[in-house]
Amino acid sequence: MISFPSMKGILTAATDAVVRLHHSVLEDGGISNLGLGYAHCGMVAAARWIPKLCTPTLLKAPGECRGFKVKS
């Protein structure tokens, strides 16, 4: 099945919209690295969407699948 981008996605890519990006790495309960910069808004939206979509499944998996472990 071929999936076509939405009109919103097409317009976002076409406008080359840029947003401020704050990136942090959590390690041992604290922030070990903080990055500041700019990125294409579509890429930032996708990067924020992936954890929201995957986290609930990953949290349930160890209890539902024998031998499954989540590594950070």
Q: How do the domains of the chain map onto residue ranges?
A: 8-64
Long-range contacts (CB closer than 8 Å, 24 or more residues apart) made by 16-22: 16/40, 17/41, 17/42, 19/44
pLDDT at 9: 65
Residue the block writes with tokens 């930032």:
44
* Model pLDDT for residues 6-63, shown as the tens digit of each residue: 776 666 666 677 778 777 776 776 766 777 778 887 788 888 888 888 888 888 888 8
Contact partners, residue 31, CB within 8 Å, separation at least 6: 24, 25
Report the predicted TM-score, pTM, of the whole model to 2 decimal places: 0.48
